[in-house]
Structure 1
Amino acid sequence: MSRVQWIPRVFEWRSKMTVAQLAPVITRKSLENTYRYGGGVISILLSAEQTGGQFSVWESVQKPGSEPPLHIHYTSDETFFVMEGTMRFMVGEAIIEAPAGSVVFAPRGIPHTFKIKSEFVRAITVCTPGGFEVWFRTLGTPAAGFDLPDQVEPFNPADLPRMIELGRKLGTETIRPVEF
């Protein structure tokens, strides 16, 4: 089969694929989709509901001390786009320095976390499939503004049962805090 004959068959195959009919969505950061969580500000830019469950996207602005403990997403992948600041990721055994402009992929089933290594960080996270943004909507509080709080909110042990139950529903397990 020549290359010329093969290409039309690829396009023919693609044209027969069925895809969910989704409407185009245009969003931007607003107070209606922004939450305070753990000393950071999370703006949900696209939710699973808006993408047919295919993915979700959020912007996070955080400072040191607001990072998550080591955790695993069993059913979703996370891709982090570091827009401002510097982060250090632990993904499995790998330690990754990620200055602004870096993209870090954390596959499902691999323990991961990050540390903020600058005064603050702004990152865009894509979660595939979507749905994890429910974590921020459920455990966060609606933001009154986009500025970072003066202090990182201390962990409240009373929140732990809710976090564990929500993690089960979302296919996520918290392992432990780690230093790296």
Structure 2
Amino acid sequence: MSIPYLAQSDQHQQLEWLDGGTLSLLLDGAATGGSLTVGRFAVSKGEAPPFHLHTREDEVFLLLQGSALVWAGEERMELAEGGIVYLPRNIPHGYRITSATADLLMICTPAGIEGMFRQAGRDRAAPRPDGFEIDPAVMAQAADAYGQIIVGPPR
């Protein structure tokens, strides 16, 4: 059974992610009964995750502000503000931010991927260790634990 969930922006967990970007976890499996995860990325030019695929969830990206190159399978597209991408599970994909900054909404169903971000990222509520960076080995372990397969370097 699902229950309503209401939260203000200051109640969202914020994680430091790749290249110093921020992922705000708006909804997770605990809030949605496992139905979906919703996150919002605030990132800078050049931010790019490894080329990867999801084995457990389908993913939607909505570019709220900025621009990005997006790769989905064999397709490549320049995504502009308001552009949307649907990525069914098992489709290799990646992106690279091409604008100075970008605001990106991510929706994944079912929930669970938030565990990977929590394991590899850093909760911004905790003090930041000097020189903190996402460790590629920790990212690979987290990806594996949550059904993500890294198939290549960032594009």
TM-score range, shorter chain: 0.7 to 0.9
Aligned equivalents of 1:141, 1:164: Cα separation in 2: 15
Please state whether the residue corresponding to 1:49 is helix, strand or coil: helix
Cα drift, residue 64 of structure 1: 2.2
Stretches (4+) displaced over 3 A: 153-156
Letter of the aligned partner of 1:28 in structure 2? Q
Bigger CA radius of gyration:
1
1:113 aligns with 2:94: yes
* Identical positions, percent: 30
Q: Which residue of 2 aligns with 1:84?
A: 65
For structure 2, list consecutive stretches of 5 or more residues without a partner in the other structure.
126-130
The structure whose residues are more often strand, as a share, is 2
Q: Is contact 1:91–1:112 with CA below 8 Å preserved after alignment?
A: yes
Deviations 1:87-132 (A, max 9, x none): 1110001112211111111110010000111001001100111111
Distance 1:32 1:25, change over 3 A: closer
Aligned equivalents of 2:61, 2:149: Cα separation in 1: 19
Q: Which moved more, 1:25-34 or 1:62-71?
A: 25-34
Cα drift, residue 136 of structure 1: 1.9
The match for 1:45 among 26, 32, 45 is: 26
Letter of the aligned partner of 2:122 in structure 1? T
1:174 aligns with 2:113: no
**TM-score of the superposed pair, with normalisation by structure 2:** 0.87
For structure 1, list consecutive stretches of 5 or more residues without a partner in the other structure.
1-20, 145-152
Please state whether the residue corresponding to 1:27 is helix, strand or coil: coil
Aligned equivalents of 1:123, 1:72: Cα separation in 2: 18
The match for 2:75 among 94, 97, 109 is: 94
Aligned equivalents of 2:140, 2:122: Cα separation in 1: 18
Q: Which residue of 2 aligns with 1:139?
A: 120
Aligned equivalents of 1:31, 1:54: Cα separation in 2: 20
Q: Which residue of 2 aligns with 1:9?
A: none
Q: Which residue of 2 aligns with 1:74?
A: 55
Aligned equivalents of 2:114, 2:81: Cα separation in 1: 23
Q: Is contact 1:31–1:142 with CA below 8 Å preserved after alignment?
A: no
Please state whether the residue corresponding to 2:138 is helix, strand or coil: helix
